[in-house]
Every structure is written in structure tokens, then in C-alpha cells.
Structure 1
Amino acid sequence: MTDDEPPSGPRILAWTPMAVMAVIAVVDVMAGPGIGLLPLVSLGPAFAGLAGGWRRTAVIGALALLLCVGLGLYNGLFVKPRGYTAMASVAGVTGVGIAAAVARSRREAELASVRSIAEVAQRVLLRPVPLTAGPLQAAVSYTSAVAQARIGGDLYEVVASPHGVRVILGDVQGKGLAAVETAAVVLGAFREAAYDEPDLVGLGERVERSVARELEGERFVTAVLAEIGSDQEVTLLNYGHPAPMLVRRDGSTDFPEPPEFALPLGLSAPGADGPEPYRVAFAPGEQLLLYTDGVTEARDREGRFYPLGERTHLLKEPDAHRALEALRQDLVRHTGGPPGDDAAMLLLRYHRHQDPGPASTG
């Protein structure tokens, strides 16, 4: 977008200055010089300063001055100070509008720069998940709560480690750069510990220590960790996160809850016991969907929550990415637009039985 173009938004704002000046000119001609509408021509550059760049505001101001001169001559106002006062009013408003447009353009450029940096940082953090990892197919979906925004507080990762396929999906408190910073801490600790720790509890403790050491204040992260080995089971570790959805081969669903609910990452007291791991059968042909509360707490216009458990038929699509995209589009239709909170979903399909090996990208 250049300085001559209006910012993105309703097109009506771009035509408002011309429309206002045209209406004032018609009314002034019809009413005659006794009404005194000439100073209102300054509304044209005033609106232009709100809806366009400084060049556009200057052009509208010049047109307003020409219109002011034309109407003043038509009404014979330049024999009195009234015509010159109207011109001074238009020129002053144009100057103020240009200054306001310049200041706004600078703020927008700074905001765009910060947003661009944050988006690059988040793309580095949230790398594409592998298409296959061990016995699993993986697909991920992320929908921001703000239209056209890609900066949020959700995180995910899939790692094919020597100890099995290890997965994390979490929801960071807050948004923007602070959320990206928190996600970096969690993902960095998870990626390193996923290869080193022989069991899922040790992996969770490593992530918890990193979060407790790095985060300040009352920031926290709800998360669920999963480990899929070669025994047709999934081990889950839940830090205050919504229970994942397990879709069986017959289409039935289950939401396996932890034995006891635990606090999110970053809120546990030093030395306190973490969540207890629990195991759930997970066999070939079955699907495991991890998601953030932006999915299940999404409401339609009547305030009804999104019925995730009733949408498993959308996951019958053979291609995992298309199936997850169909679920995402259904969520957007349910809310009538972007959901009220960031919504991340990670779909794992057990497509064959084998020992987990290095992740494949093909």
C-alpha cells in the first residue's frame, strides 16, 4: 500500500471526502450565499486525513480549495472577508489532515514491522510437523482468533525420538510477542528433552523446570504431552489441558481424562509432584486429535459450544490434511468467522504398526 492509497477497510471511507464536498457544493448552489455553507468544504480534507495517506489528503485539500474558490466566485463572496475566511479554514484543515496522515502512516509502518518480526519468529518456532513419524501420519491446523493475524499463543511439535514418537500441544496464556517468547521456552525445552529423556515423566519435568526458570509473573501454559511407542498404546501427560479426542476404528469417540487434574506448566510449586501419566489403547486405524480450548469453547451466534465429538465423520477423509481442513472449516462456519480464541488442532493417525523410526518428510 502506498501513501496515495487508503488503508484496507471499507471502501466507502475512500469516497467519503469527495461525496461530502459534492453534497456541500450542490446544497450551497441551491440555497444561495445566505446560508454560509462554504466553510464546510473543509470536511473533505478532514475525512481524507482519516482514510488516506498524506498525498491523497493533499490532493483532496487542493480540490477543496478550488471548489471553495469556485463557490465563492459564484456566490460573490470575495467582495467580503467571508470568502477568504472559508479558504483559510480549508487550508488549515488540509494542513492538519496531512500532518495526521503522516503520523498515522509512521505508526502503521512501525506496527507492521513489529508484526512481521513476530510472525517470522513464530514460523521458526512452529515448524511444519513431519508428514509421517514412526507408525503415525500427522497433520496440523491453526486458526487465529483475529482475522488476517497469524500471531497467537498456541504451540505444537512432533518428534520421532529413540524412545517413541513424542508430541506436545499447548496453549500459552496471552497473545503477541509475549506468547511467542513463552512458546519458544516450552518448545526449546521439549525438543531437546524429547531425545534425551527415556520416559515421558522425565520429559515433562524437564519442560516444567525450564518454564519455571524462564517465565516471570503469573504466565503459564496448559499442555498435553503424548508418547506413542510400538505397543499400540499412547501415554499421556496432561498439564491442565483439554483431554484429547480418540476416534476408534468403528467411529466411536473417547476423551480419555487424566487420573487427577494437574496445574498448567509454570504454576506448580517447587518440588511439587507433576501430573500422573496414563496409558490408553491406540491401535492401527485409529486417530488421536489434540486441540486447544479455542476449538471446544468456540460458540455460535446462539452461544452454543462447538460439538467436536459430533464431527468425527469429517475425519473419514483418507488424506489427514484434508480431513483436518474440513474440520477447521466446519469450526469457522460454526462461529460465523474466526473463533473467539486461537484454535490449534493436531491430528495423529495410526496408519501402520512398526517400530518408531526417524521422521519422514515425504
Structure 2
Amino acid sequence: MTEMEFGRRRRPLLRIRGAGVAWLLPLLLLVGIVLLDFATGEEFRIVTWIVLVPGIAAAVCGVWTTAAYGVLSVVTYVLVDSAWPNQYQAGFGDFLLVALGGALATLAAVVRVRQERQVGHMRDIAETTRRTVLRPLPPRWAGLDHAGVYLAADVDARVGGDFYDIQPGPHGARVLVGDVQGKGLGAVEVAAALLGTFREAGYHERDLGTVAERLETRMRRHRAHMAALGRDEGDRFATAVLIAFPDGTADAIDVTNFGHEPPLAVGPRGVRELPSGDGLPLGLGDLAGGPPPVHRVRLAADETLLLVTDGVTEARDEPGEFYELAREVSRAVRADPRHTEPRRLVRRVRDGVLRHSGGRLDDDTTIFAVRRLPDDGEEPGAGDAVRADGVTGPRVPATDDLGTGRARRE
């Protein structure tokens, strides 16, 4: 069952080989109470404990199953209690307790299932929003092999202000990775606005500097629009890295950095840092007189660009030490040069961050890797797919599968 189906169907809490078996728990409890009541004798009657059965059902079963257990508990109580001599019977008072317990348990199940449906509906909305902002990227998109993963610090919300995208166009492929300051729906709105502008300008504009100017203008216009609506969010800004893979240039890229974490070029010969954020974040360009400059940077055919948000570089372990991204990636590449492949690289960083932070992320985290596809027709992205673990990129053998990469709730 996909997460989009969560709000439409209640997912069984307990399963055996895919089948829901939550109903077994209250049944076993019912049988155990009956047997124990007869085993303890008349001196110690526990048949009244049968009121726990619909209570347990309300926690793990559906409404109708809980109601059925409420009725079954009442019937079982009457049969078991009637089997004892009159002087040892629990009586009508305990019967009312069992009946009332079943009714209240059914009511509790109604409330729980209704809340589950509401949470599922909210998750559907969050998932739809995430896919609108972070649209799924086709495999081998724009001549690039890519992989990306987004981890929300709030695993229930599943959406935040981090964003990334690839836009092909007549002037080459463009890549944008960024992080909006702040959290909540306001940050999501900014991310959606910037991505919309990037998808249009990245396609039509020949010069990467013009695309950067369009992004800066869009950020300021969005802030002005929010202020006019009475939702003044202050000087909200966004850090970002804008990259162009020019057509006809196989060994270089153009980079504009809006105060973002510097990209890493990861190759068999090691890891090197590209130009750092020498410009101000988007929305603050008027303080510097314009967007940051465009740098032409050498990028070998076997090198992969690794771009992350500060959820990676600011991830802390229990003693408070930061995650050393470049060091850990260098160590991984030395151990196995195949970690330069986008999917393996993203997966390695994701697992490293979650392991380093103990699964507790303080900020939304985006990890994105991209490199040119070779010209020899053997495309490393062949068989790419959007997988259930949230990583897009080339499939790997089943023995190398990781499962999910979400942050823990604790």
C-alpha cells in the first residue's frame, strides 16, 4: 500500500505475511480470561476482566471489529458467569460494567479511526504538495544521471523548504538546489515560487546570470506579495546553488552560488570543493547590487556533483560534533570507487547523516547528486526509477537495498 492510499484505507497495525492479524490479540485475551476464571475457582473470580477485551480491540482493530468484541464479551460473560452456582456468580453489576465497557470501547474506536483518516488525509495533502514542489524527475533526464533524497525533520509533515530540480532546455541542462529560511507553509510557498521561475527561466534564458537575476527578482516579488496580503514574513531569504551544464562543453560547468553550501565534485581521484557561496542569499541581492557572479568550473566526465542543504552539514551526534561531509565521502570513495555513482553516493550520505545524528534531524535535509551521462551509449542511469525509499536514481542489486531513509520520530 502506498502512502497516498493511507488516508483511504486503514493500514493494519499487526501483520503476518501481509495479512492483518490485530484481531487475534483481543481474542487471545478473551480465551485466556475465560480459562483463568475456571482455573482459579470460586474463591477468585476474574471474569469481569473481560471488559479489557473490547478496550484492547479499540486500540488495534476497526470500529465494527471492536463492536463485535463488545457483544462477544457480554455474551461470554453471561455464559461463563451462569456456569457457576448462584452464590459465586459476579452478578448484574459486573454485567453492566462489561456492557458499558464494550460501548465505550466502540466509541473510542470510532474516534481513533476518524483521527487516523484525518491524519491520512493530511499526509495525502503533504505528499501531493511535496510532489508538486519536488516533482519526480525522469531517469536520464536532460542527459544527466541523477539521484536525490529529501528527509523532512518533521516526518509527519514530509514537506519543508528544501528544493531541487533539473530543467532541460535549448541552452543545456540547468540544476537548482536550495533551502528556504524558516519552516512551515510559508517556506513551501517560497520554494514553489522559486522553482516555478527556475523552470521557465532555466528553459528560455541563454545566460545563466539572467536566470539568477530572475530568481532574485522572483524572491523579492514574492515577499512584497506576502506583505500586501498582511503576511509580512520579514526578510525571508533562500540559499541556493544554480548550475548549468552547457551544450558542447563536456569538461566544465557554470556555477552561481547564493550563499549556499558549496557543491562537492566527487570522483575516483578524490573529493574537491567547488566555489563557495560568494553571493548573498536570494532575496538579499539588493544589498550587494545584484546576484553573485557566474563561475566556469572544471568538472571531469567521471566526477559527480554532490549538493546538500545544511541539514547535512549541521547534523550533530550525541556529543555535538558536526557531520564531516567531505571527509566521509572521501573515505567512502577510497574504499569503493563505485560510490561516485549518484545513487550510491546519495545513499551513502543519507545513511551517514542518519547514523551520525541517531536518526534525529533538526532541519530538513536534501541530498542531490548529478553527473553527465557518458557519450558511449552505456548510460549509468539505465533502469532508473523512483523507489519506495525516496531515492531517485539507478537501481542497485537487491542485496544493496536500504529500505527507507526517514528520520525517527524521537
Give the TM-score, by structure 2 length: 0.69
In the other structure, the counterpart of 1:233 is 252
1:21 lines up with 2:52 in the alignment: no
1:140 to 140, 147, 150: 147
Deviation at residue 139 of structure 1 after TM alignment = 0.7
Match of 1:310 among 324, 331, 335: 331
SS state at 1:161 partner: coil
Q: Does the Cα contact within 8 Å between 1:154 and 1:172 map onto a contact in 2? A: yes
Which range moved further: 308-317 or 117-126?
Answer: 308-317
The CA deviation at 1:92 is 1.2
Query: Given the alignment of the two structures, is residue 156 of structure 1 paired with residue 164 of structure 2, yes or no?
Result: yes
Amino acid at match of 2:239: T
Matches of 1:298 and 1:274, distance apart in 2: 32
Q: Does the CA contact (< 8 Å) of 1:168 and 1:225 recur in 2? A: yes
Which of 337, 344, 360 in structure 1 is aligned with 2:366? 344
Structure 1 residue 347, shift from structure 2 partner: 2.4
In structure 2, how many angstroms separate the alpha carbons of the residues matched to 1:174 and 1:27? 58
Determine the C-alpha separation between the residues in 1 that align with 2:222 and 2:86: 71
Q: 1:52 to 1:40 in 2, by over 3 A?
A: same
Alpha carbons of structure 1 residues 301 and 67: separation in structure 2 relative to 1, 3 Å: farther
Indicate the SS of the match to 2:13. Answer: coil
**Can you give the 5+ residue segments of structure 2 that lack an aligned partner in the other structure?**
1-5, 227-232, 376-382, 385-410
- Deviates most, 344-353 or 36-45: 344-353
Greater shift, 310-319 or 29-38, is seen at: 310-319
Say which is worse superposed, 198-207 or 27-36, in terms of deviation: 27-36
Match of 2:261 among 242, 246, 263: 242
CA contact (8 A) 2:253 2:297 kept: yes
Match of 2:69 in 1: 60
Which residue is 2:174 aligned to?
166
Contact 2:126–2:159 under 8 Å retained in 1: yes
Deviations 1:195-238 (A, max 9, x none): 34443333223223323333552554332111233554333222
CA drift of 1:52 comes to 1.3
Counterpart selection for 1:254 from 261, 272, 295: 272
The reply on whether 1:85 has 2:93 as its aligned counterpart is: yes
How far is 1:322 from its partner?
4.7
How far, CA to CA, are the matches of 2:8 and 2:257 in structure 1?
A: 51
Distance of 1:224 and 1:315 partners within structure 2: 28
Once the two structures are TM-superposed, the CA of residue 68 in structure 1 deviates from its matched residue by 1.4
Q: Is this contact kept in 1: 2:259–2:276, CA < 8 A?
A: no
- Structure 1 distance, partners of 2:182, 2:211, is 24
Q: What is the 5 A alignment of 1:175-324?
A: 180-214=188-222, 216=226, 217=233, 220-229=237-246, 230=248, 232-248=251-267, 250-258=268-276, 260=278, 262-263=280-281, 265-266=282-283, 268=284, 273-274=289-290, 276-277=292-293, 278-298=295-315, 305=323, 307-313=328-334, 316-317=337-338, 320=341, 322-324=343-345
Asked if the contact 1:129–1:158 (Cα under 8 Å) also holds between the matched residues in 2, the reply is no
Letter aligned with residue 8 of structure 1: L
Aligned to 1:49: 58
Gaps in structure 1 of 5+ consecutive residues? 354-360
The question of whether the paired residues in 2 share the 8 Å contact of 1:139 and 1:324 is answered with: no
Counterpart Cα distance in 1 of 2:129 and 2:190: 12
| CA drift at 1:128 | 0.8
Paired residues, what number? Answer: 349
Amino acid in the other structure paired with 2:292? E
Q: 1:321 to 1:349 in 2, by over 3 A?
A: closer
1:320-348 CA distance string (max 9 Å, x none): 45544653675478459867355433323
Residues 124-157 of structure 1, C-alpha deviations (whole Å, 9 max, x = no match) = 4413156153xx5231221434779864543211
Give the match for residue 13 of structure 2. Answer: 8
After superposition, the CA RMSD in angstroms is 4.1
Q: 1:311 is paired with a residue of what secondary structure?
A: helix
Give yes or no for contact 1:118–1:180 (8 Å, CA) kept in 2. Answer: no
> Which of 335-344 and 83-92 deviates more?
335-344
What TM-score do the two structures reach when normalised by structure 1?
0.77
